[in-house]
């Protein structure tokens, strides 16, 4: 099996001490990758650091210089345009990496249709508490960070680069992940591959940033709709094949940014855990109802979930079998309709 090639793209804007730590950590842990370092209008001290760092690396580094700070996403796109490797790894210059992080990402990148593979960015994409004991080696996600992500060249050839008109943060990332999902590329999270990230540098007035974020949010919601939240109850008599089939639909909807809490009876939960269903997607949470007093526990969970998310939809996992104690619940077909675009955001 041929080892995939990797370019690691690091846009840099000042912060020479943090940048040096970032570059050294990459050199120490990714000896087979090429570096694409982008001087994004740095001050002279940072520019001297980059020149000193790049000079002895020869062909292992591609050094690009912007005359002024053109913004993180435009600089990143310039680097992606110069990358000819199988995979391009984005690393923000104020973060560090350690251990076998890159190899762990590449192991998951071998999955069929993998388009984006994300490390666990310690301050920006924390692993949900419910998964810390689940020992998930990988799971799908819609949560990304510019602190670190691995991008397939095949995917980039198909969907292009990041939208420079968006905010350069949450909404830009959501747009990109949804574009990938629309073309049937998967986005994975690898909890054991760590990027020790720091908050990104910001510049410009707060008023201007807020306005750009508002416009970006509106544009992305118009393109992809609003993320919806569902609580799905599966009655005790649910057949394993039905649960498996339902999870196929739920996973497809989670890939589009919707979030699900599955309320399962104790034995169902055990069987689902054995099948690896706890590690499907960060947008899918499995809850085990109490072995005794399951109806009371169900009501408690639904009250809590409804309080946390007032727009929560409560769904029957098996059409025709009611959710005990609840009227106005929705049929499972409402989730299937999400995939057809028949449900208003």
pTM attached to this predicted model: 0.93
- pLDDT band of residue 128 (cuts 50, 70, 90) is low
| Strand-pair category, 186-196 with 96-97 | antiparallel
State the CB neighbour count (10 A cutoff) for residue 302.
21
Per residue in 179-223, pLDDT (tens digit) is 999 999 999 999 999 999 888 877 778 899 899 999 999 999 999
Residues 264-284, mean pLDDT to the nearest whole number: 95
- pLDDT band of residue 327 (cuts 50, 70, 90) is confident
Sorted by where each starts, the structural domains of the chain and their CATH numbers stand as 6-223 (3.90.550.10), 229-340 (3.40.50)
* Contacts of residue 165, Cβ cutoff 8 Å, sequence gap at least 6: 216, 219
CA distance 97 to 24: 9
Q: Which has the minimum average pLDDT: 52-61, 204-213, 232-241?
A: 204-213
Express as a percent the part of the chain with pLDDT over 70. Answer: 95
Closest CA to 90 of 70, 118, 57, 123: 118
């Amino acid at each position: 099996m041929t080892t995939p090639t990797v370019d690691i793209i690091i846009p840099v804007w000042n912060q020479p001490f943090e940048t040096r730590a970032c570059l050294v950590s990459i050199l120490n842990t990714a000896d087979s990758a090429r570096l694409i370092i982008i001087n994004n209008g740095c001050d002279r001290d940072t520019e001297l650091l980059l020149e000193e760092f790049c000079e002895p690396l020869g062909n292992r580094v591609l050094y690009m210089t912007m005359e002024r700070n053109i913004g993180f996403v435009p600089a990143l796109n310039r680097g992606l345009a110069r990358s000819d490797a199988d995979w391009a790894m984005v690393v923000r210059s104020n973060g560090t990496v350690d251990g076998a992080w890159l190899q762990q990402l590449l192991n998951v990148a071998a999955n069929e249709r993998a388009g984006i593979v994300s490390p666990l960015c310690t301050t920006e994409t924390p692993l949900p508490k419910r998964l810390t004991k689940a020992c998930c080696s990988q799971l799908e996600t819609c949560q990304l960070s510019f602190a670190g992500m691995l991008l397939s060249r095949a995917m980039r050839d198909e969907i292009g680069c990041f939208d420079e008109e968006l905010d350069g943060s949450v909404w830009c990332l959501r747009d990109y992940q949804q574009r990938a999902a629309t073309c049937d590329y998967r986005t994975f999270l690898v909890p054991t591959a760590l990027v020790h990230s720091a908050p990104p540098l910001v510049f410009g007035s707060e008023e201007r940033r807020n306005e750009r974020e508002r416009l970006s949010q509106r544009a992305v919601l118009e393109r992809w709709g609003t993320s919806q939240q569902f609580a799905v109850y599966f009655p005790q008599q649910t057949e394993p094949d039905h649960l498996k089939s339902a999870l196929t639909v739920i996973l497809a909807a989670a890939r589009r940014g919707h979030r699900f809490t599955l309320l399962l009876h104790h034995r169902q939960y055990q069987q689902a855990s054995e099948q690896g269903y706890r590690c499907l997607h960060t947008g899918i949470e499995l809850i085990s109802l109490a072995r005794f007093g399951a109806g009371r526990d169900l009501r408690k969970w639904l009250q809590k979930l409804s309080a946390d998310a007032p727009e929560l939809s409560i769904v029957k996992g098996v059409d025709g079998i009611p959710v005990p104690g609840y009227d106005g619940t929705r049929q499972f077909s409402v989730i299937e309709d999400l995939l057809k675009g028949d449900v208003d955001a």
